[in-house]
């Protein structure tokens, strides 16, 4: 068998450089981890250095010797002689990052070999369903590309250090939040839910004709205007229909007139600006007849690798197939867990539209609740945020309160990390456009 790719010299160069100048550890700690070292003795030394740094102690031959001796690892690495050799064979710490890059590259090659061996074994597995094998294959490759994802138990100290740095950075510059949180673009709604965070599973649920697809597209347009990359998987409408809705919203014209190609001259004059605006939005639409979540996972991973990805939208959850068609409740549960797992794997929020059960229609009060989520209680359990739409003028067209005409209530029924409540939005149905409603001072919130 061939010896796996590695470089003893580069590994020793990293360790020797840190012994010469402990600041070298801060230059490479985000790049290489303990498991990136090929030689076990080198890995043990690097782990000792990380521990010393975490305790705020200096890193030198004496302190490192003490740490390794306390762990019973000093003899296994070669004792004092080995540590002295590391310190004496490296004459400068200037190239520590270059050494670390070599170590990382060799480590990635070893991971690639491991993934390739696993994939080769999948090819001989004739018992497992092909879609499952393809999913495992893509996941193996994707796992190699995500060089900084650590699939291991992490001591809370490391997480605390990372969070402190993030909090301090945000405190100094709050605008940084916009780089990693995707906002809906509606002031009061964003204030309540705090935006859509990486790894969030967000459910947008409603009965038919409530406007959930229109709200999804409005959110996508708002994100696109903020230079976010949004992937939309439509299992119900074609990409042309979705795009026409976005064009109508951008133009402020009747979407039905646009579908009939019946625009007045002054309306048609607006189309150039609308198309120009939408063309700069990083919105990607897939309307292929997707049968399962496996296909969405594959395409989302590819989109993230090729173009970047900040948010995924699925319209809608109940149209997805799972692995258990004989038991629909269990099938939807598997789909729900799969969506949540994909959100965490990709590190992006996933907004999944969902139908509500017909039980809403039979009640005196038509306002939806969590128990109305169709076909599975696991959707409520897996979701980080559950939003439900309600139109009073749909159920009560002759309502005596004219202020409720064209108003859609967004009920935030679940918010894992924040408050729940109700936010009202104005919905211009013919334009397929949502607006913030003026507050008591007559102004509109801006995000």
Q: Count CB atoms within 10 A of the CB of residue 182.
A: 26
Contact assessment for residue 396 and residue 379, using Cβ atoms and an 8 Å cutoff: no
**Of 85, 158, 165, 236, which is the active-site residue?**
236
* Angle 86-88-93 from CA coordinates, rounded to 5°: 80
Nearest by Cα to 302 from 243, 346, 340: 346
Give the span between the Cα atoms of 205 and 368, in whole angstroms: 9
Contact assessment for residue 233 and residue 315, using Cβ atoms and an 8 Å cutoff: yes
165 a catalytic residue: no
- Order of strands across the sheet with 350-355? 283-286, 230-234, 311-315, 350-355, 201-206, 385-391, 407-415, 421-428, 433-436
Residue position matching structure tokens 């100048």: 21
Nearest by Cα to 213 from 205, 201, 202: 205
Q: Could you give the residue numbers annotated as active site?
A: 236
């Amino acid at each position: 068998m061939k010896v796996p790719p590695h470089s003893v010299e580069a590994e020793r160069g990293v360790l020797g450089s840190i012994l010469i100048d402990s600041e070298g550890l801060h230059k490479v700690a985000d790049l290489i981890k303990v498991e990136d070292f090929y030689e076990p003795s080198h890995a043990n030394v690097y782990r000792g250095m990380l521990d010393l740094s975490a305790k705020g102690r200096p890193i030198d031959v004496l302190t490192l010797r003490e740490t390794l001796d306390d762990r019973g690892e000093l003899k296994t690495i070669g004792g004092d002689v080995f540590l002295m050799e590391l310190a004496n064979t490296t004459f400068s710490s200037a190239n520590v990052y270059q050494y670390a890059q070599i170590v990382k590259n060799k480590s990635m090659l070893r991971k690639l070999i491991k993934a390739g061996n696993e994939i080769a074994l999948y090819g001989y597995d004739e018992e497992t369903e092909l879609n499952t094998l393809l999913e495992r294959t893509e996941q193996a490759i994707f796992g190699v590309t995500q060089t900084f994802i650590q699939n291991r138990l992490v001591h809370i100290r490391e997480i605390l250090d990372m969070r402190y740095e993030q909090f301090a950075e945000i405190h100094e510059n709050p605008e940084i939040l916009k780089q990693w949180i995707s906002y809906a673009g509606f002031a009061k709604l964003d204030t309540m839910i705090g935006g859509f965070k990486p790894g969030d599973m967000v459910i947008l649920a409603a009965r038919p004709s409530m406007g959930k697809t229109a709200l999804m597209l409005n959110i996508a347009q708002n994100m696109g205007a903020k230079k976010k990359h949004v992937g939309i998987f439509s299992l119900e409408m074609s990409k042309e229909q979705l795009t026409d809705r976005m064009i109508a919203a951008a133009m402020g014209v009747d979407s039905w007139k646009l579908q009939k190609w019946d625009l007045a001259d002054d309306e048609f004059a607006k189309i150039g600006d609308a198309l120009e605006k939408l063309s700069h939005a990083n919105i990607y639409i897939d309307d292929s007849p997707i049968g399962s979540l496996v296909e969405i996972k594959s395409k989302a991973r590819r989109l993230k690798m090729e173009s970047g990805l900040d948010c995924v939208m699925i319209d809608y959850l109940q149209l997805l197939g799972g692995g258990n068609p004989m038991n629909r409740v269990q099938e939807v549960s598997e789909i729900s867990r799969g969506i949540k797992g994909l959100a965490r794997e990709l590190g992006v929020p996933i907004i999944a539209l969902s139908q509500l059960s017909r039980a809403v229609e039979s009640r005196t009060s038509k306002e939806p609740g969590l128990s109305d989520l169709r076909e599975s209680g696991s959707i409520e359990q897996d979701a980080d945020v559950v939003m439900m739409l309600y139109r009073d003028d749909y159920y009560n067209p002759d309502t005596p309160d004219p202020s409720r005409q064209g108003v859609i209530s967004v009920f935030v029924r679940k918010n894992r990390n924040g408050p729940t409540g109700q936010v009202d939005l104005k919905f211009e149905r013919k334009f397929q456009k949502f607006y913030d409603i003026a507050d008591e001072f007559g102004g509109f919130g801006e995000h």
